[in-house]
Structure 1
Amino acid sequence: MTSFHLVDGYIDILSEVGRWKIIPMRGLYELNSFGIQYATFCRKIKKLESEGLVRSILGNNKRKFITLTNKGTEICPYGVSFDDLEDSLNHDLIATNIVTKLIEYKNFKTGQVQCFGRGLDVEPDGLIFGQKNGREYSLAIEVELHQKSKSRVSDKLIKYANSVYYSYVIYILNKESTYRAYKMILESMNDEVRRKVILLFDINLTPTRFNFKDAQCLFQGKNVSFEDIFGE
């Protein structure tokens, strides 16, 4: 490793990129300005690109997104690069948007899309660390843009129920039909599963929009608000 990776804030930027599978360049700067002006930040990103540690992807309206390269993941071992062939850009951008919006909530301390340990039985799309009534907890995030089979959903719910890594899991859905189907699946599960699983329905969910505070939620068999679940 050359000294380039260790000075002038480059490693800080690279580590922050490593928290997210893919993130808008402007959004990355707004999360952590790194104590520099945006123009300087852009030059540093360009330098990281020239060193082969990050790469950019041009999306709609010429929005620029940043992800680690395979070389970059060697420095940020818990980071994962975006795979154009296997990954869904829309899904991963929505997951990033959800986590970045949620960490602004008063009772959530921090979160990330990546930085998970290898070899876990179940790996979510995102992870939030929160606190309620003085107790800290972890909240796994599953982004479901397409309905999966009952057996596949049930198997994953059981894994979450048995996991010691996640206190709760929240399934975020943008189709009413999927919300109803997952509600029926959840109602057929035992109490051990239902006490850890939350459903949230936001019909207007996009890579830039997520209105969790007004979303319809289901928790422990009851229709509740987001604030009812996570507020003090």
Structure 2
Amino acid sequence: MLSIEQRKFLSPLITWRILDIENLIQLSKQNRSYSSAQKLLKRLQQRQLIEIYRDPWNKKNYVFLGNLAIKELCPDTRPLLNSGALYHDSKVTSLGVELLKFNKIFKSIELEHQIKKGKGIIGISDFIPDARVEGQFKAKFFQAAVELELHQKEKSRIVDKAKYYLESEYYNHALYFFPDNDLLQNYDTIIKKELGNDYNKKIFLFSCPLISKAKPSFENGTGLVMNKSKTFIEFFGGVY
């Protein structure tokens, strides 16, 4: 059994599924030191209530619920994780947390597992983004799909997904994020060749090389917005 304090500490994992320790402390809104959190998590891991994933590149530890904790905290939602997707999922949550720091723009976020539960899905054949955000930019409400592309997908899938977002009445925009500018440029070339230059009026591309680091941020990136070179910070930073 989890104590009330432990339940509160782990509760962000119901929504986010996997978080690094710093973000878990922050989102749990508990006045807890990093060392205190580490000790608690070690005890919970020994009881098989949580599991730890260690990022092979930035060496950070990411926490997610074990089966015992899932049964106790969220038996209906069951935010199960695919062991083969832990790296990608951990980066998506890091990206999501960083997006919400731009709280004058991004008001809420739903991750893929929440979207799949059926809320707001239009047709079972629709592409499901890594996340979707709602917010307000320049006095206009928007809903945007969020895609984190760590590796290049097959050309046909890149084009089909981009075409879906361009034709979708549900999403005002799609925000694509990449770990480097080379991958961004590859996607731009592929989509532009198949769907034309105007795709970039709705689908925005951003490279964020620091998003996978120990201290993720949108600094030192590149971007393409409305066929102009514009980084995430340059485009959204004015109302940060």
TM (normalized to structure 2)?
Answer: 0.74
Matched pairs, number: 226
Tell me the residue number matched to 2:109: 111
Q: Which of 66, 69, 92 pairs up with 1:69?
A: 66
Tell me the residue number matched to 2:18: 22
Q: CA deviation at 1:16?
A: 0.7
CA distance in 2, matches of 1:213, 1:157: 26
Q: CA deviation at 1:148?
A: 1.4
1:171 corresponds to 2:176:
yes
Deviations 1:129-187 (A, max 9, x none): 32213333233221112111221101111222344543322111123332222111232
Q: CA deviation at 1:28?
A: 0.7
Q: Please identify runs of 4+ aligned residues in structure 1 that moved more than 6 A.
A: none
1:206 corresponds to 2:202:
no
RMSD over aligned CA atoms reads: 3.3
Task: List aligned pairs for 1:64-143, cutoff 5 A.
Answer: 64-70=61-67, 72-73=69-70, 75=74, 77-78=76-77, 80-84=79-83, 86-89=84-87, 91-105=88-102, 106-111=104-109, 113=111, 114-118=113-117, 120=121, 121-143=126-148
CA distance in 2, matches of 1:96, 1:33: 17
Aligned residue type for 1:95: V
Aligned residue type for 1:104: K
Q: CA deviation at 1:204?
A: 4.4
- The 8 Å contact of residues 94 and 208 in structure 1, kept in 2 or not, is answered as no
Moved more, 33-42 or 159-168: 33-42
Instruction: Look up the SS of the partner of 1:115 in the other structure.
Output: helix
1:224 corresponds to 2:238:
no
Q: CA deviation at 1:79?
A: 5.7
Instruction: Look up the SS of the partner of 2:11 in the other structure.
Output: helix
Q: CA deviation at 1:190?
A: 5.3
User: Given the superposition, is the C-alpha separation of residues 104 and 204 from structure 1 closer, same or farther in structure 2, using an over 3 Å criterion?
Assistant: closer
The unaligned stretches of length 5 or more in structure 2 are none
Aligned residue type for 2:26: E
Q: CA deviation at 1:78?
A: 4.7
Q: CA deviation at 1:34?
A: 2.9
The unaligned stretches of length 5 or more in structure 1 are none
CA distance in 2, matches of 1:39, 1:205: 24
CA distance in 2, matches of 1:129, 1:43: 36
